[in-house]
Amino acid sequence: MALVLTEEQSMLKSSAREYLKENAPVAALRKLRDDKDEKGYDPTVWKAMAEMGWASLTIPESYGGLDFGYTGLGQILEETGRTLTASPLVSTVLLGTTLIKQGGTEAQKAALLPEIAEGNLLIALAAEETSAHKPTKIAATYTSLGKTHAVSGKKVFVLDGHVADKFIVSATRDGKTSLLIVNADAKGVSVERTIMMDSRNAANVTFDNAEAILLGEEGNGIAVLEATLDIARIGLAAEMLGTTCEAFDRTIAYLKERQQFGVPIGVFQGLQHRAAHMYCEIENCKSVVIAALQAIDKGSKKVPMLASLAKAKLGKTLQLVSNEAIQMFGGIGMTDDEEIGFFLKRARVAQQTFGDYNYHLDRYAKMNNY
């Protein structure tokens, strides 16, 4: 497959850019933060996103979706990365939909996916237990109560945890790992919202014998979780590409406009070469993101490898670009009034999410047997 977008994908991308610029710019995130907004996202914007079909892109037509593919979703995510838009796209569409598609029973798909497509149902994956990403090291357990089950354990960094309607929880029983669905209002669920540096939603969630049902079959938790996480890593890499590009564009614009010593600071070679180097790294980021997104849609066996390549490369490059952005903006970049700081703060959270640079470097080496 050629590493270029189709016409439909390009159109989706530009319409998303227009919508987000108007309705969910960086200023909207600032407002959510400053208002200490209870939800941490704008339900009106989320409703509009669902109406535009953004929540249905990866849902098969038979479940009320558009079946447009992950490459298409990646374009939306990239644009939300430019505007730093807080929305349930990552928790519910990238993770939730994929988990249900990969692991759910026919009945679960038929019940849940159309609700997600409509924007009526928010899902949160409760998988992490430590501050380092170790998705397969699971202390949470569940017991069988016949038809239903009961989950106990402590989960951290649950994206959109305090607004979700349902959790999908990883837990073990007798050496088997499964994923279980828990209603947010079930007895034994306690949620503590954590305010993160990027002003996006996360929570610590404790389950104390909370009533649960299995997502699909018992014992296939690791397989479904790993497959979903790889897709999520690629989707997040697409979002990070948008954040990287926007921070870079703003920095280049600033280099052309900011005057010191009677000239725009962009004339200085000390800055030019660093900017040019970032340009090169960003070109590479664009390549790995589109290759990885297309691999998901093709059902390629290379998805795990590409997921680690994409997440590692974007993590490293976004770190570089967000740091250089602050340095090149100088003093003004340190102020809360200037928006560039929001990109640095989002960068650090995104870098950690679904495994940081070192995690994926190590994983890549292991996949190549060294």
Partner 1 sequence: MEVATSAAPTALETFRMETRAWLEANCPESQRQSVKSYTDMYWGGKNPVFNSDDQKVWFERMLEKNWTVPHWPKEYGGGGLSKEENKVLKEEMGRLGCRPPLYNFGISMLGPALLKFANDGQKDHFLNLITAGKLWWCQGYSEPGAGSDLANLQTSAEDKGDHYLVNGQKVWTSFADKSDWIFCLVRTDPEAPKHSGISFLLIDMSSEGVSTRPIKLLSGNSPFCETFFDNVKVPKENLVGKENAGWTIAKYLLTHEREMIGGVGDTEQKTPLHKFALDHVGLENDILADTILRGDVAKWEMDDAIFKMTISRTMDEVKAGQSLGASSSFFKYYATELNKQKLELQMSLAGTAGNQWEGEASDEGRLPRYFCRTKANSIEGGTSEVQLNIISKRILGLPSK
Which residues bind to partner 1, rule: CB under 8 A? 1-4, 252, 255-256, 263-264, 266-267, 269, 271-273, 275-277, 279-280, 283-288, 290-291, 309, 312-313, 358, 361-362, 364-366, 368-370
Query: In whole angstroms, what is the distance from residue 241 CA to residue 247 CA?
Result: 10
Question: Of 31 and 302, which has the nearer Cβ to partner 1?
Answer: 302
The least CB distance from residue 277 to partner 1, in Å, is 7
Question: Of 187 and 366, which has the nearer Cβ to partner 1?
Answer: 366
The least CB distance from residue 138 to partner 1, in Å, is 23
Q: Which amino acid is residue 320, in one-letter code?
A: L
Question: Of 11 and 365, which has the nearer Cβ to partner 1?
Answer: 365
Question: Of 174 and 283, which has the nearer Cβ to partner 1?
Answer: 283
Question: Of 34 and 362, which has the nearer Cβ to partner 1?
Answer: 362
Strands 141-145 and 189-195: unpaired
Question: Of 4 and 107, which has the nearer Cβ to partner 1?
Answer: 4
Dihedral sign for Cα atoms in the order 12, 13, 16, 17:
negative
Question: Of 66 and 271, which has the nearer Cβ to partner 1?
Answer: 271
Instruction: Report how far Cα 352 is from the mean position of its chain's Cα atoms.
Output: 11
Query: In whole angstroms, what is the distance from residue 164 CA to residue 171 CA?
Result: 19
The least CB distance from residue 355 to partner 1, in Å, is 14
Question: Of 64 and 364, which has the nearer Cβ to partner 1?
Answer: 364
Give the HSE-up count for residue 286: Cα atoms under 13 Å, Cβ half-sphere: 10
The least CB distance from residue 278 to partner 1, in Å, is 9
Closest C-alpha to 320, from 359, 353, 281, 273: 281
Q: Which amino acid is residue 164, in one-letter code?
A: A
The least CB distance from residue 366 to partner 1, in Å, is 7
The least CB distance from residue 351 to partner 1, in Å, is 15
The least CB distance from residue 327 to partner 1, in Å, is 16
The least CB distance from residue 18 to partner 1, in Å, is 21
Query: In whole angstroms, what is the distance from residue 16 CA to residue 5 CA?
Result: 15
Q: Concatenated DSSP letters for 315-337?
A: HHHHHHHHHHHHHHHGGGGGSSS
Question: Of 143 and 284, which has the nearer Cβ to partner 1?
Answer: 284
Q: Which amino acid is residue 343, in one-letter code?
A: F
CB atoms within 10 A of CB 58: 25
Question: 3-state DSSP: the chain helix, strand, coil percent, rounded to 5?
Answer: 55, 15, 30
What three-state secondary structure class fits 253? helix
What three-state secondary structure class fits 249? helix
What three-state secondary structure class fits 31? helix
Query: In whole angstroms, what is the distance from residue 9 CA to residue 294 CA?
Result: 12
The least CB distance from residue 332 to partner 1, in Å, is 19
Query: In whole angstroms, what is the distance from residue 298 CA to residue 293 CA?
Result: 9
Query: Which 3-state string (H, E, C) describes 186-251?
Result: CCCEEEEEEECCCCCEEEEEEEEEEEEEECCCCCCHHHHHHHHHHHHHHHHHHHHHHHHHHHHHHH
